[in-house]
């Protein structure tokens, strides 16, 4: 998907849908293994695949120093190596924060940038290694997801509901992380 098409899709998505950042942190998600989480919420997610070639607008290797891979996401504010999972239409996929972003889109409510392979699996699309995009989803570049953070990363970043990249929270040590654990259940269906 071209950068221009992604921008148009983002504008349309942000105009048509409202951002819902977070449900009460102590809510019990109908999502069951008795797994414990530290934060639960909802947001709009986009996708990327950073192969360091620059051909899809990427800026180099992911910030955590890990190679691009399935499950690696970018967050505008959470610490690197934060772990959790996302749920979309009953499908649950694990993630770890390996990069920073999305940049400007986070100012418009896109608070998680999923890797393109996870995005494809969640939406029923196909990852295209030639374009680094997702085919077969009708140009859809954003989806509404639920997320559960199960473990915070150790470094700098905000250990709470995500905020825009422009706040600079990604570069500050959080001395007051969210402390209300959530109990989560695996998806039914």
How many CB atoms are located within 10 Å of the residue 162 CB? Answer: 26
Residue 188: per-residue pLDDT: 54
pLDDT at residue 170 tops 50: yes
pLDDT at residue 132 tops 80: yes
Domains and CATH numbers, the chain: 3-171 (2.40.40.10)
pLDDT at residue 106 tops 80: yes
Over the stretch 134-146, which tens digit does the pLDDT of each residue have? 999 998 999 999 9
Indicate if the alpha-carbon torsion angle 95, 101, 105, 108 is positive or negative: positive
Which of 5 and 120 is assigned the larger pLDDT? 120
Asked whether 165 and 74 are in contact (CB, 8 A), the reply is no
d(CA 148, CA 35): 10
Over the stretch 148-169, which tens digit does the pLDDT of each residue have? 999 999 999 999 999 999 999 9
Helices and strands in the chain, H and E counts: 2, 10
Q: In angstroms, how far is the first alpha carbon of the chain from the final one?
A: 31
Phi, psi of 18 (to 5 degrees): -100, 145
Q: Which of 63, 66, 32, 62 is nearest to 49 (CA)?
A: 62
The structure's pTM equals 0.78
Phi, psi of 117 (to 5 degrees): -70, -40
When pLDDT is cut at 50, 70 and 90, the band that residue 93 belongs to is very high
Strand-strand pairing, 36-37 and 91-100: unpaired
CB contact set of 113 (below 8 Å; sequence gap of 6+): 45, 46, 47, 48, 73, 74, 75, 99, 101, 102, 105
Within 13 A of 13's CA, how many CA atoms are on the CB side? 22
């Amino acid at each position: 998907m071209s950068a221009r098409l992604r921008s148009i899709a983002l504008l349309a998505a942000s105009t048509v849908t409202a951002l819902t950042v977070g449900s009460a942190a102590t809510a019990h998600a109908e999502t069951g293994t008795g797994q414990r989480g530290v934060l639960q919420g909802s947001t709009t997610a986009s996708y990327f695949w950073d192969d360091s070639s620059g051909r899809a607008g990427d800026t180099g290797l992911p910030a955590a120093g890990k190679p691009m891979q399935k499950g690696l996401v970018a967050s505008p504010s959470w610490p690197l190596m934060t772990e959790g999972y996302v749920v979309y239409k009953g499908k649950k996929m694990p993630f770890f924060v390996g990069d920073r972003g999305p940049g400007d889109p986070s100012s418009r409510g896109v608070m998680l940038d999923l890797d393109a392979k996870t995005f494809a699996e969640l939406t029923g699309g196909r990852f295209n290694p030639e374009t680094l995009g997702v085919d077969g989803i009708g140009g859809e570049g954003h989806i509404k997801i639920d997320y559960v953070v199960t473990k915070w990363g150790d470094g700098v970043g905000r250990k709470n509901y995500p905020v825009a990249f422009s706040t600079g929270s990604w570069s500050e040590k959080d001395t007051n992380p969210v402390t209300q654990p959530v109990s989560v259940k695996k998806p039914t269906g």
